[in-house]
Amino acid sequence: MMQTIAQTGAGLSGASAVHMNIFGLYPVVVFGTEEQKQRWLPRLVEGRDKACFAVTEPNTGLNTLKLKTFARREGNEYIVSGQKVWISTAQVANKMLLLARTTPASECKGTAGLSLFYIDLDRTAIEVREIDKMGRKCVDSNQVFIDNLRIPSRDRIGEEGEGFKYILHGMNPERILIAAEAVGLGKIALSRGAHYAAERNVFDRPIGTNQSIQHPLAKSWIELQAAELMVMKAATLYDAGKNCAAEANAAKYLAAETCFRACENAILTHGGMGYAKEYHVERYMREAWIPRLAPISPQLILCFIAEKALGLPKSY
């Protein structure tokens, strides 16, 4: 579905408007109580609730285990303060999936000490500041500042201190989802490039007659087919309950890089008109940066694959 949305021409703007509500709450599906599922999921599916996904912080980036947002337990409540960044749809969301530290890092080993909550986005305790971006402007991205937010303990997902394990059931599907969207974006860019090549006449013949125009487009078609298969492999493994971390990351890497090249080829095929908004491919190129950069950098994916798939020493 997400690939199809992107491939219509809506791109990452269209896909991002709905994808949080697809991958974000999957930890609730896997680890939530029946009461939590009944209380939260129908409202999300019906569109009565809109959620945002609050993990990343300004000073920790991809080093999730060093998160500083802290939730202090007081009776049947948690008091939370901290900052999050690059939180999509926080301008319009009324719910938030929040990962916060509940035990100081100095007192924890491994991945312990983080807890996962699904909370009301209480704007009396949460300030949301929009980040002006290069592309995907119709979906807001934000800095979020949390000051003494009170969360009922019943809104914690699973056990206290086990949130990092739970959030992986949002992160791996997110990588697969972003990869599918990148494939869709790459396909619409390729389609527009091929259409223009077939119609644009220079020296009394279509420019698509020239192999220098054909070959980059053909190569993008091949790469997009391979990326799509990798996405489906990762999704199949996840659905089967098998370890899919390497495949999900590989799918995200392959799809993002392939999408970027397809968008670049579409612009080059259009020539000067590729720079004109009328033909849309410049927008696709701007949006193609999103899956390359988020939710994880291509460099860190390569580090992860080297360690987990190839057994090489951890480098970070």
Rounded-to-10 torsion of CA 57, 290, 12, 237: -80
Q: What is the end-to-end Cα distance of the chain in Å, rounded?
A: 35
Residues 6+ apart with CB under 8 A from 253: 298, 301, 302, 305
- Residue 64's pLDDT is 81
- Residue 235's pLDDT is 97
pLDDT digits (tens, 9 = 90+) for 134-190: 988 889 999 999 999 999 999 999 999 999 999 888 889 999 999 999 999 999 999
- Residue 93's pLDDT is 95
Q: Specify whether the CB–CB gap between 266 and 259 falls below 8 A.
A: no
Q: Tell me, what amino acid is at 278? A: E
Cβ atoms < 10 Å from Cβ of 79: 15
Q: Is there a common fold for 19-154 and 166-308?
A: no
- Residue of 296, 299, 283 lying closest to 86 (CA atoms): 296
Query: What is the assigned CATH class of domain 166-308?
Result: mainly alpha
Cβ atoms < 10 Å from Cβ of 289: 18
Report the distance separating Cα 183 and Cα 264, nearest Å.
Answer: 14
Report the distance separating Cα 95 and Cα 81, nearest Å.
Answer: 17
Domain locations along the chain: 19-154, 166-308
Q: Tell me, what amino acid is at 111? A: T
Which pLDDT band holds residue 279 (cuts at 50, 70, 90)? very high
CATH no. for 19-154: 2.40.110.10
Which pLDDT band holds residue 120 (cuts at 50, 70, 90)? very high
> Is the full-model pTM beyond 0.85?
yes
- Residue of 297, 255, 291, 250 lying closest to 62 (CA atoms): 297
- Residue 230 confidence (pLDDT) above 80: yes
- CA 246 vs. chain centroid, Å, equals 16
Tokens of 206: 């279509």
